[in-house]
Amino acid sequence: MTYVYIDGDYVHEEEASVSVFDHGLLYGDGVFEGIRAYEGKVFKLEEHIDRLYRSAKAIKLDIPITKKEMNQAIIKTLQKNELKNAYIRPLITRGVGSLGLDPQKCPKPTVIIIVQEWDAMYGDLYSQGLKAVTVAVRRNSIDALPPNIKSLNYLNNILAKIEANVKGGDEAIFLNQQGKISEGSGDNLFIIQDNQIYTPPALNNLKGITRKTAIDIAKNKGIEVQETDLGLFDIYTADEIFVTGTAAEIAPIVKVDGRQIGDGNPGKITKKLMDKFKEITGEIGTPIYG
């Protein structure tokens, strides 16, 4: 039995429900985060909470509890569910309103925290490598719906995932409006060429927290990471490719659009980063149980 936090209460999952007039449901009007806990510690909790409040600010949504209260509510939800390894999903919707879309008619945002036992998302593919496909649907442009708002409107990402599924890919790779490499449907993308790591700038992607962790790990190992525009040629001819995300962690890509990447196995540098990532997720974080 899972307890879900809703507006200050901890309710059983069967009773955890929101109104059909909630604008999160009616319009995808809201924001969310995905966070992981490893071995009794929440990884990068403050960074995720900061991003949640920034996403909310960007859509002019006032979260009715402070960051500190959010932090405590997340920890308490994990404690109530006796979890040590978990995926944590805080979300804030615009709340109940009329059928019209005007957010001013929604007086009270809904705050929800869902937690779940969770294993690494890609299973065997961490050792085998993922097949990725580029998709026809382009990443939302920054002047329409900036990807840096982690909003409940994830249809752009879902369209990419549908296309990846249809094409037999494990993950989609988005291009942006200019035809440059953007990101995955739920992760950031990196390539390695001649022992240097490259990743697209985060202006038209989500500024991933795992992305930052991977960059820090690489720098600590003396491997240079350059933020630069990348095209299809760069990914088709890369020595190694990997993606990063809270759910994906660091995952190797060994095929893109039918082109084999490197020797077709997870790359050497990618594996080094994966190993270090595994190590630090077990070491650092906000303790759940004091």
Q: Do 164 and 156 touch, CB atoms closer than 8 A?
A: no
Nearer to ligand PMP, 3 or 126 (CB): 126
Alpha-helical regions (H) of the chain: 23-27, 45-58, 67-80, 125-128, 155-167, 209-220, 232-236, 268-283
CA 91 to chain CA centroid, Å, is 13
Smallest distance, Å, CB 43 to ligand PMP?
10
Helix (H) or strand (E) holding 198: strand 196-199
Q: Which stretch binds ligand PMP (CB under 6 A): 193-201, 208-216, 224-232, 278-286?
A: 208-216
Q: Is 81 in the site for ligand PMP (CB under 6 A)?
A: no
Kindly state the tokens that stand for 38.
């490893």
List binders of ligand PMP among 145-164 (CB under 6 A): 157
Which string of DSSP letters, residue by residue, matches 140-192? --TTTS-TTS-BS--HHHHHHHHHHHHHT-SEEEEE-TTS-EEEESSSEEEEE
Q: Which stretch binds ligand PMP (CB under 6 A): 21-29, 61-69, 89-97, 243-251?
A: 243-251
- Phi, psi of 17, deg, nearest 5: -145, 160
Instruction: Report CA-CA distances (Å) from 179 to 104, 132, 232, 277.
Output: 37, 17, 8, 31
249 binds ligand PMP (CB under 6 A): no
> No. of H helices and E strands in the chain?
8, 17
- Measured distance CA(74)–CA(58) in Å, rounded: 22
Pick 106 or 270: Cβ nearer ligand PMP:
270
* Catalytically annotated residue among 150, 161, 180, 276: 150
The smaller minimum CB distance to ligand PMP, of residues 110 and 188, is found at: 188
* Binding flag, residue 171, ligand PMP (CB under 6 A): no
Q: How many CB atoms lie within 10 A of CB 190?
A: 26
By CB under 6 A, tell whether 187 contacts ligand PMP.
yes
Counting residues that bind ligand PMP (by CB under 6 A) gives 14
Q: Does the annotation mark 268 as catalytic?
A: no
Q: How far is the CB of 38 from ligand PMP (least distance, A)?
A: 14
Q: Footprint of ligand PMP on residues 8-47 (CB under 6 A)?
A: 34
How many angstroms separate the CA atoms of 261 and 46, rounded?
36
CB of 44 to ligand PMP, least distance (A): 8
Establish if 199 lies at the interface with ligand PMP (CB under 6 A).
no
Q: Is 208 in the site for ligand PMP (CB under 6 A)?
A: yes
Q: Interface with ligand PMP includes 211 (CB under 6 A)?
A: yes
Residues of this chain that bind ligand PMP (CB under 6 A): 34, 157, 183, 186-188, 206, 208-211, 244-246
- Residues annotated as catalytic (active site), given as ranges: 150
